[in-house]
Homo-oligomer: A and B are copies of this chain.
Amino acid sequence: MPELSLSRRSGGGRSPTSRDIARELDVSQSTVSRALNGGSVAEATRARVIEAAARRGYVVNAAARELVTKKSGLVGVVVADITNPFYPELVEAIGARLAEAGKTMLLATIGVTDDEVARVRLLLEHRVDGIIFTSTQVDSTAIPRLASDDFPLVLVNREVDGVEADAIVGDNVAGATAAAEYLLGLGHRRIALITGDARTSTSRDREAAFVRSLEGAGVRLAHRVEAGFDQRAAFSAALELLGGTRPPTAVMCVNDLIAFGVLNAARRLGIDVPGGLSVVGFDDIPMASWDAIGLTTVRQPISRMAEEAVAVLERRVADDGSEFERHLLPCELVVRSTTGVPGTTKGKV
């Protein structure tokens, strides 16, 4: 049964329409439509329609359907930093949930050099039922406009300045606090923080909570470096930091990719981890748990994020007026082998 077939020449032409199959069966086009969509039709008729549709490779035209129903079944998903393995995971999970909900994901990757507004506009042209934004900067220009128009959107793992919208976020505060307390408990006092892009709510929130937590214990941050969100930038920043005078005994990183950069720098400098340096990340991307890495990090509940994002969006699409939901998902500190008591050089090298 060729359920797939958008022949261009086979079968003599364009892909068949519901009218085509109606003609063949000598029924009306609306009967075909009903038969295929679960309307009330005699079972015998329905069977014939379904058979013919399958045989001819009929596939409904989403555009035509949308024109009348005003629902595209499309959901826009916006990702900025797809280079960070956290996002593919998240996108994958969102796509899966969306598919379960019978929706299709229209993905827009918006790099730093891309025109955010233009990309979002494309999504809008396709009349996406809503948009899920991940990894967006706090100063996004498209989001506030959309929000002020009551367009259904949900922010995942991000918040945007001055925007009221549904949001699904990991508990960055609790996560960063746990990391700080853990480091403090280990005895670290000379602690550095490497942040990512400051225009990002995750980086900001994690930093604030971390710093606050240290200060609560009377410890001041020894160093603060802003390194962007990728491994490369973090690597060179860490090289400088760790090679300087009075280097820290522990480094907190605002995400795992940055932590890897620090680990690489330590390796290059011959610094033993965790004997000479403890490193903590954030996200718990797959690599973090690899044997040769074993990064201590704060785990974000990716699949729950995806699940809730889709659920909330569906609710928002269905009901315009309800209160905005803000879901704070628990993050958990996962202790592995990049952290230890300062000054020990048992090391694992």
Binding site for B on A (CB under 8 A): 2-10, 57, 59-64, 66-67, 72, 74, 82-83, 85, 87-89, 91-92, 95-96, 99, 104-109, 111, 114, 117, 119-127, 142, 145-146, 148-152, 231, 235, 260, 263-265, 267-268, 286-287, 290-292, 320, 349
Contacts and interface: CB of A to CB of B under 8 A. Distances in A.
Contacts of A96: 109, 111, 114
Contacts of A287: 231, 260, 287
Contacts of A95: 107-109
Contact of A267 (B8, B66, B286, B291): B291
A33 to B, nearest CB: 14
Contact of A82 (B63, B92, B150): B92
Given A99-B119, A126-B62, A263-B292, A5 B149 contact: yes
A83 B130 CA distance: 25
Given A95-B107, A292-B267, A59 B121 contact: yes
A92 B99 contact: no
Nearest to A4: B145
Nearest to A5: B149
Copies in the complex: 2
Contact of A125 (B60, B148, B152): B60
B61 A3 contact: no
Contacts of A6: 124, 127, 146, 149, 151
A37 to B, nearest CB: 13
Contacts of A63: 62-64, 66-67, 72, 126-127
Contacts of A290: 231, 235, 260, 264
A89 B5 CA distance: 30
A258 to B, nearest CB: 13
7 contacts: A62-B126, A83-B88, A83-B89, A85-B85, A231-B287, A235-B291, A265-B291
A7 B152 CA distance: 10
A231 B286 contact: yes
Given A3-B117, A4-B124, A267-B292, A10 B148 contact: yes
A124 B64 CA distance: 13
Contact of A145 (B2, B64, B146, B260): B2
A296 to B, nearest CB: 16
Q: Which of A3, A6, A85, A96 has the most CB of B within 10 A?
A: A6
Given A67-B67, A265-B291, A267-B292, 16 more contacts: A3-B117, A4-B124, A4-B149, A7-B150, A61-B67, A62-B125, A62-B127, A82-B91, A87-B88, A96-B109, A99-B122, A104-B108, A231-B286, A260-B290, A263-B292, A264-B292
